[in-house]
């Protein structure tokens, strides 16, 4: 998602600095017209806005406040757009530290997938002060086609994103349960996919990830490990709020079992392989 956002900014005419640990990514970024760095500090001096696309709260804290981190090197009043899927409590805490450091902060998790990001067509769930929204406007216009304004402070955006991840994760696991059962009772998976996508049992994830199962293709677009993380966040925040989360907990256990079985870096649709194996059958593309 970060790569797509960076290319969208270059395309929109912004002088764009990019930070990544992988030399090959930096080489490609330079070739695409960007300014490449291996640590955040040199990239942010003089920048009007800093977009953070990392995988979890720990990484976000590291790139913001760790050694050669962004905040110490940024001009006062720089806008930080945090497009990280993390616990809402973590998003609120990081935003508070940014404000304390004299920065603007926008809680701004994204969705839409890598292809949409490359096209500058991400969906952004955003919350923050009017000043943060005003500063973010030209940047968001370059990277997103849909921006939801979810509140005047950091937190609600990450909360809504968390609800989205709850549903996405449970729906992927349900797809795996449906497809493995369909195979177990002798149905043709392509036919099942075709009928369900035209019926009331459909979901965005059944349609998208079910196609991976039909094709037997588990090259990771989004990996099992991501949902171990995201549903772990949901379960933790639900417990903290005193709310039940039985389906989240059940789906989380399946993703954890898949990771334990060595499928953590495979596509999250691999939860279907796990369930099929538990039933004593193999789905197409199950290499082991």
**For residues 3-42, which are near its own copies according to CB under 8 A?**
none
User: Which position among 39, 56, 164, 256 is part of the footprint of its own copies (CB under 8 A)?
Assistant: 164
- Of the candidate residues 56, 129, 250, 256, the single one contacting its own copies (CB under 8 A): 250
Nearer to its own copies, 4 or 18 (CB): 4
Structure tokens at 12: 């929109």
Separation CA 64–CA 166 (nearest Å): 27
Number of amino acids touching its own copies (CB under 8 A)? 67
Q: How far is the CB of 134 from its own copies (least distance, A)?
A: 21
Among 2, 34, 128, 156, binds its own copies (CB under 8 A): 156
Pairing of strands 110-111, 122-126: antiparallel
Which residues in the 251-280 window bind its own copies by CB under 8 A? 251, 253-254, 275, 278-280
231 with 252: CB under 8 angstroms? yes
Residue 195 interacting with its own copies (CB under 8 A): yes
CB of 12: closest distance to its own copies in angstroms?
23
- Provide the minimum distance between the beta carbon of 235 and its own copies in the complex, in angstroms, as a whole number: 10
The pair of three-digit structure tokens given for residue 112, joined into one six-digit string: 């839409």
CB-based burial label for 288 (10 Å; 0-12, 13-18, 19+): exposed
At closest approach, how far in Å is the CB of 154 from its own copies?
14
With helix as H, strand as E and coil as C, how does 109-152 read? CEECHHHHHHCCCEEEEEECCHHHHHHHHHHHHHHEEEEEECCC
Q: Which residues of 73-100 are buried (b: 16+ CB within 10 A; e: fewer)?
A: bbeeebbbbbbbbbbbbbbbbbbeebbe
Binding mask 201-230 for its own copies (x = CB under 8 A): xxxxxx-x----------------------
124 counts as binding its own copies under rule CB under 8 A: no
| Binding segment toward its own copies, per CB under 8 A, in 5-13, 20-28, 199-207, 212-220 | 199-207
Task: Look up residue 25 and give its two tokens.
Answer: 């990514």
CB-based contact 150:127 (threshold 8 Å): yes
Rounded to whole angstroms, how far apart are CA atoms 165 and 250? 14
Residue 277: HSE in the Cβ half-sphere, 13 Å Cα cutoff: 14
CB of 206 to its own copies, least distance (A): 6
Out of 71, 150, 213, 283, point to the residue binding its own copies (CB under 8 A): 150
Task: Name the site residues for its own copies (rule: CB under 8 A).
Answer: 88, 111-113, 123, 125, 146, 148, 150, 156, 159-160, 163-168, 170-171, 173-175, 177-178, 180-182, 184-187, 191-192, 194-196, 198-206, 208, 234, 237-238, 241-248, 250-251, 253-254, 275, 278-281
């Amino acid at each position: 998602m970060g790569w797509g956002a960076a290319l969208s900014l270059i395309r929109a005419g912004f002088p764009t600095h990019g930070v990544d640990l992988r030399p090959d990514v930096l080489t490609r970024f330079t070739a695409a017209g960007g300014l490449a760095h291996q640590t955040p500090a040199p990239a942010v001096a003089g920048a009007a806005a800093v977009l953070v696309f990392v995988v979890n709260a720990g990484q976000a804290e590291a790139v913001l406040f760790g050694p050669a981190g962004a905040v110490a090197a940024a001009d006062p009043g720089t806008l930080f757009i945090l497009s990280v899927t993390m616990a809402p409590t973590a998003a609120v805490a990081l935003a508070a530290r940014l404000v304390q450091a004299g920065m603007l902060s926008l809680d701004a998790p994204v969705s839409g997938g890598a292809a949409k990001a490359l096209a500058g067509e991400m969906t952004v769930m955003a919350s923050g002060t009017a000043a943060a929204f005003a500063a973010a406007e030209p940047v968001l216009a370059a990277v997103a086609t849909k921006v939801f304004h979810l509140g005047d402070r950091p937190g609600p955006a990450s909360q809504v994103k968390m609800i989205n991840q709850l549903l996405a994760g449970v729906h992927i696991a349900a797809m795996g349960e449906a497809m493995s059962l369909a195979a177990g009772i002798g149905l043709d998976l392509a036919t099942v996919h075709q009928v369900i996508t035209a019926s009331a049992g459909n979901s965005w994830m059944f349609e998208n990830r079910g196609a991976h199962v039909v094709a037997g293709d588990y090259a990771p677009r989004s990996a099992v490990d991501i949902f171990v993380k995201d549903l772990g966040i949901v379960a933790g925040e639900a417990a903290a709020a005193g709310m039940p989360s039985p389906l989240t907990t059940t789906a989380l256990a399946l993703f954890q079992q898949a990771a334990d079985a060595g499928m953590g870096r495979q596509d999250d649709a691999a939860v279907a392989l796990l369930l099929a194996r538990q039933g004593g059958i193999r789905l197409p593309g199950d290499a082991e």
